[in-house]
Structure 1
């Protein structure tokens, strides 16, 4: 982390990300209004992240990579959802390159430098919560693909825990 400046719009970005996650769940479950939720969430995510990027005074190369990652991901998501353009593979290749670039330059440092507010019970609960949420999403997707019973329920509960985890994460991680 080169610049420990205060980040703005962190909580609204998390709320919008939860909206995008639920729109993906709606799409997987074939529930109504999935496309509309995805469009609203993606546009809000792009706008909020662009405002956050423009607000930052000292922009580094990794900041531009993260902006490109968010913009390409959301545009690709909307284009594939609405079947607008057939450039999905090109955008996915750009997305992969940007993600690998972020992962090499800043991604591993992002995950290793995170400090919890309290190291006792909070740390145990937080990491356990993360593991359970990820496991439920993986097993729910597997059950859903295999058409096994309770696949939809497990996947929905996993997405619910993921959204709760995004909110809890905001409050338990120390901010500079």
Structure 2
């Protein structure tokens, strides 16, 4: 993978971590959260569009990923601006996510020969990320039901996911002999 592509990937990850921090700030009713969320969505959209435009060969999965990012970020931007008609973008996000998952979802975690390419440490970190996502979902449901400790639960989940993304940014990548073969899976 080119250095410019890797730098762009890290910038996208920083924007995602900043987006999660903005969500956390909004849950805690801290000032400037809407501005941080809006800026993060805009930066993610611009960086991913730039990354997409730099690809020489655009496969159908690349187009689906670009559509997914476009629908998701546009929905986020319009929601922050209190635009009332975001159903189209929510449906677009859902359909493109299902298409991406059907085409690439579980293959992301496999190498070319169908073997799991993650080490034990990576599997543990992925498990922690799943726990973070489930904690966010649980906190959201608790908040809808007006149960106690919903805000701390959401805060814990968002902190876990932001930590996962930041760990991923600052960890040193290991070189595999078949890295060039799996280039599409990494992008």
Q: Same fold (TM over 0.5)?
A: yes
User: Once structures 1 and 2 are overlaid, which stretch shifts more, 34-43 or 163-172?
Assistant: 163-172
Unaligned runs of 5+ in 2: 180-187
Q: Show the counterpart of 1:60.
A: 59
Task: Give the conservation status (yes or no) of the 8 Å contact 2:27–2:151.
Answer: no
Cα contact 1:69–1:99 (8 A) shared by 2 = yes
Instruction: Tell me what 2:89 maps to.
Output: 91
* 1:160 equivalenced with 2:152 (yes/no): no
Matched-pair contact (CA < 8 Å) for 1:139–1:154: yes
Structure 1 residues 60 and 127, CA gap change in structure 2 (3 angstroms): closer
Asked if 1:37 corresponds to 2:39, the answer is no
Aligned residues: 168
RMSD over aligned Cα atoms: 2.4
The separation in 1 between residues aligned to 2:122 and 2:17, in whole angstroms, is 23
Residues 1:172 and 1:77: Cα distance change in structure 2 (over 3 Å) = same
| Stretches of structure 1 lacking an aligned partner (at least 5 in a row) | none
Is this contact kept in 2: 1:115–1:173, CA < 8 A? no
- In structure 2, distance between residues paired with 1:20 and 1:81: 12
Superposed displacement of residue 160, structure 1: 0.7
Alignment partner of 1:167: what SS?
helix
The normalised TM-score by structure 2 is 0.77
Given that 1:137 and 1:158 are in contact with CA atoms closer than 8 Å, whether structure 2 keeps it comes out as: yes
In structure 1, how many angstroms separate the alpha carbons of the residues matched to 2:96 and 2:134? Answer: 27
**For residue 50 of structure 2, what is the aligned residue in structure 1?**
51
Measure the CA separation in 2 of the matches of 1:15 and 1:150.
28
Q: Which residue of 2 aligns with 1:115?
A: 117
State the distance in 1 between where 2:87 and 2:129 align.
31
